């Protein structure tokens, strides 16, 4: 009876634009001289005020105050589906020193992604690369699927209403 | 994710039937294959009955019982793109742009001649075929006309009259919107990667046979050393739909949704860069 509405899983709250970019939470990092790489506290202008605007953005980037070249991304209304893909893709990147995600609470519909990179790049940049790679990957997967679908449909033995061929019934033709 | 830098994922469809499909996905990371599985189950939109207005119900089942049963009936959803989500629609409650109306009216008349003849079955089975849709493209899945989906059984003298509002939705909200009845997902049938730990009494090989997909892979040599760097790269996926759309359509839509998810994130990240290109010193 007190259960939250399930659509909160994917519906943006009132006042949130789908692609609004509001997160002024990241600040320039002074990573020129390695050891002095203490990032300034984010959003000086907002210090002492509520952490975010009344409109909560879909993506926020918060640089880590203690670790150089590290940031926390908070992504709203997404779950393991996206988070795990991003994490695994980030870990493929040799410039990524750390990438991990968590969903802090089952009733909160967001995940946080922590990324630390080598000094010659930054977390937002490597995340951008990871997303681009994944888009290419899914796009190529879709193309391959469509191509094989044409083959499968034209293969009369495989198109059959209801019956069709079964993998277990005989040896699979490996020469696709 | 191209873990072998050899041109991205490969797909090979092994069987394509009316409401199920088997395919093998290779050359990609487990996270991508799992994302595809998750999206097929929970994020591909379909149509399902979401509101029921009951006018008369003198059957033995309660209103909410019948409403629940109606919600579970799969509706053909191949044309779901045409329909808006109600929450995105400009109407106040529902309208033809964001919903489809289905009506049902069954009244079983009392036939006094047959009344006392026990050999005549007087039970009227109200099925999904009794639902009359206002939209030709959204109607109950009825592949098996001989065994339609049963809603309620009625006796002479009983009446059921109701109006259903079918809406577009995703299974993240309620499982009735899931286009699939099951997605089987397997990798590494010989457990070479040791991701599975089998509960056994005495002998693992005897108690846990290998699956049909094992025919595609070479068995593990008991003497071969464990490769702790090995990653899964071949995924055996089977999609069984509810009949609301074709299985290949479910997979393609799922991939489009994955692209949209990532594309949305990319746009947001790009906006961040535009907003403050100096922020990171770039």
CATH code where residue B35 lies: 3.30.1360.10
Provide Rg for chain B, Cα atoms.
25
Do the Cβ atoms of A59 and B268 come within 8 Å? yes
Partnered with residue A112 across adjacent β-strands are A74, A102
Note the pLDDT of residue B5.
54
Q: How far apart are CA B158 and CA B156, in angstroms?
A: 6
Range A162-174 burial, b when 16+ CB lie within 10 A, else e: eebbebeeeebee
Q: How many CA atoms within 13 Å lie on the side-chain side of B194?
A: 6
Do the Cβ atoms of B256 and A142 come within 8 Å? yes
Do the Cβ atoms of A138 and B32 come within 8 Å? yes
One domain, residues B236 and B135: no
One domain, residues B52 and B169: yes
One domain, residues B101 and B143: yes
Q: Which of A137, A144, A146 sits opposite B1 (nearest CB)?
A: A137
Q: How far apart are CA A12 and CA A10, in angstroms?
A: 6
**Residues in chain B, pLDDT under 70:** 1-6, 274-282
Residues B120-148: pLDDT tens digits? 888 999 999 999 999 999 999 988 888 99
- Token duo for residue A3: 């259960």
Among chain A residues, the shortest Cα distance to B29 is held by A88
Asked if residue B243 belongs to a domain, the reply is yes
One domain, residues B75 and B161: yes
- Provide, as residue numbers in chain A, all residues whose Cβ is less than 8 Å from the Cβ of B172: 6, 9-10
Provide Rg for chain A, Cα atoms.
22
Domain boundary (B107, B140, B173) is at B173
In CATH, what number is assigned to the domain containing residue B107?
2.170.120.12
Which residue range forms the structural domain that includes residue B132?
47-173
Do the Cβ atoms of B276 and A92 come within 8 Å? no
Asked if residue B208 belongs to a domain, the reply is no
Residues A108-163: pLDDT tens digits? 999 999 999 999 999 999 999 999 999 999 999 999 999 999 999 988 554 454 44
Task: Kindly give the residue spans of alpha helices, DSSP state H, lying in chain A.
Answer: 80-92, 123-154
Note the pLDDT of residue B276.
56
- Token duo for residue B180: 């699939």
Note the pLDDT of residue A99.
97
Do the Cβ atoms of A142 and B261 come within 8 Å? no
- Provide, as residue numbers in chain A, all residues whose Cβ is less than 8 Å from the Cβ of B267: 19
Q: How far apart are CA B171 and CA B21, in angstroms?
A: 20
Task: Kindly give the residue spans of alpha helices, DSSP state H, lying in chain B.
Answer: 30-42, 63-71, 204-207, 247-275
Among chain A residues, the shortest Cα distance to B277 is held by A28
Would the pLDDT of A166 be above 70? no
B30 interface with A at CB cutoff 8 Å? yes
How many CB pairs lie under 8 A apart between chains A and B? 188
Q: Which of A87, A149, A168 sits opposite B13 (nearest CB)?
A: A149
Q: Is the dihedral of CA B71, B73, B79, B80 positive or negative?
A: positive
Contact status, residue B145 vs residue B129, Cβ threshold 8 Å: yes
Best mutation target among A69, A133, A134, A175 (most B Cβ atoms within 10 Å) is: A134
Q: How far apart are CA B184 and CA A58, in angstroms?
A: 32
Averaged pLDDT for residues A48-75: 75
Total number of domains constituting chain B: 2
Q: How far apart are CA A88 and CA B260, in angstroms?
A: 19
Q: Which of B8, B255, B281 sits opposite A28 (nearest CB)?
A: B281
Domain boundary (B138, B173, B208) is at B173
Alpha carbon of B137: minimum distance to chain A alpha carbons (Å): 20
Do the Cβ atoms of A138 and B259 come within 8 Å? yes
Q: Which of A28, A140, A142 sits opposite B280 (nearest CB)?
A: A28
Note the pLDDT of residue A58.
84
Contact status, residue A31 vs residue A69, Cβ threshold 8 Å: yes
One domain, residues B134 and B163: yes
Do the Cβ atoms of A124 and B269 come within 8 Å? yes
Q: Which residue has the higher pLDDT, A32 or B1?
A: B1
Beta strands in chain B (DSSP E): 10-17, 20-26, 46-57, 99-107, 124-127, 132-133, 150-154, 159-169, 180-187, 234-241
Asked if residue B167 belongs to a domain, the reply is yes
Would the pLDDT of A164 be above 50? no
- Provide, as residue numbers in chain A, all residues whose Cβ is less than 8 Å from the Cβ of B37: none
One domain, residues B102 and B28: no
Would the pLDDT of A29 be above 60? no
Note the pLDDT of residue B196.
92
Do the Cβ atoms of A122 and B280 come within 8 Å? yes
Note the pLDDT of residue B277.
55
Note the pLDDT of residue A25.
36
Alpha carbon of B6: minimum distance to chain A alpha carbons (Å): 11
Contact status, residue B216 vs residue B24, Cβ threshold 8 Å: yes
One domain, residues B129 and B232: no
Among chain A residues, the shortest Cα distance to B211 is held by A168
Q: Which of A87, A135, A164 sits opposite B262 (nearest CB)?
A: A135
Asked if residue B264 belongs to a domain, the reply is yes
Averaged pLDDT for residues A29-44: 36
Domains by residue range for chain A, with CATH: 6-165 (3.30.1360.10)
- Provide, as residue numbers in chain B, all residues whose Cβ is less than 8 Å from the Cβ of A88: 1, 29-32
Partnered with residue A113 across adjacent β-strands are A73, A101
Chain A contacts in chain B segment 66-95 (CB below 8 A): 87
Do the Cβ atoms of B1 and A92 come within 8 Å? yes
Strand order in the sheet with B20-26: A159-160, B10-17, B20-26, B234-241, B180-187
């Amino acid at each position: 009876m007190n259960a939250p509405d399930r659509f909160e899983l994917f519906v943006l709250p009132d006042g949130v634009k789908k692609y609004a970019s509001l997160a002024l939470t990241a600040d320039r990092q002074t990573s020129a001289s390695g050891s002095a790489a203490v990032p300034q506290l984010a959003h000086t202008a907002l210090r002492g005020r509520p952490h975010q605007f009344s409109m909560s953005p879909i993506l926020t980037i918060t640089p880590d105050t203690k670790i150089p070249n590290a940031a926390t991304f908070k992504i709203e209304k997404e779950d393991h589906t996206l988070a795990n893909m991003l994490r695994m893709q980030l870990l493929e990147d040799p410039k990524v020193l750390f990438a991990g995600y968590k969903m802090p609470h089952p009733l909160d519909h967001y995940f946080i992604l922590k990324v630390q990179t080598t000094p010659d790049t930054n977390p937002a940049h490597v995340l951008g690369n990871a997303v681009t790679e994944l888009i290419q990957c899914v796009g190529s997967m879709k193309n391959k699927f469509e191509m094989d679908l044409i083959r499968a449909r034209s293969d009369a033995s495989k198109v059959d209403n209801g019956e069709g061929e079964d993998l277990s019934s005989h040896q699979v033709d490996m020469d696709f | 994710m191209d873990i072998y830098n050899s041109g991205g994922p490969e797909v090979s469809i092994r069987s394509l039937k009316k409401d199920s499909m088997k395919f093998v996905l290779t050359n990609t990371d487990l996270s991508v294959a799992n994302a595809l599985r998750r999206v097929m189950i929970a994020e591909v939109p379909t149509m399902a009955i979401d509101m029921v207005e009951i006018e008369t119900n003198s059957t033995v089942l309660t209103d909410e019982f019948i409403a629940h049963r109606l919600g579970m009936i799969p509706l053909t959803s191949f044309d779901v793109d045409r329909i808006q989500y109600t929450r995105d629609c400009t109407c106040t409650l529902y309208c033809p742009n964001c919903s489809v109306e289905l009506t049902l009216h069954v009244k079983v008349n009392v036939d006094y001649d047959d009344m006392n003849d026990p050999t005549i079955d007087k039970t009227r089975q109200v099925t999904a075929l009794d639902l009359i849709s206002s939209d030709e493209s959204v109607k109950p899945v009825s592949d098996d006309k001989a065994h339609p989906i049963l809603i309620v059984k009625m006796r002479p003298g009983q009446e059921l009259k109701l109006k259903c509002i079918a809406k577009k939705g995703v299974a993240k909200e309620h499982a009735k919107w899931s286009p699939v009845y099951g997605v089987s997902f397997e990798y590494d049938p010989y457990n070479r990667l040791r991701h599975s730990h089998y509960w056994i009494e005495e002998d693992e090989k005897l108690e846990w046979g290998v699956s049909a997909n094992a025919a595609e892979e070479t068995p593990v040599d008991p003497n071969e050393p464990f490769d702790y760097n090995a990653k899964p790269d071949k995924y055996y996926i089977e999609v069984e739909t509810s009949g609301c759309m074709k299985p290949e359509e479910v997979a393609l839509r799922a991939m489009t949704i994955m692209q949209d998810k990532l594309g949305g994130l990319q746009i947001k990240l790009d906006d961040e860069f535009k907003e403050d290109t100096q922020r990171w010193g770039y």
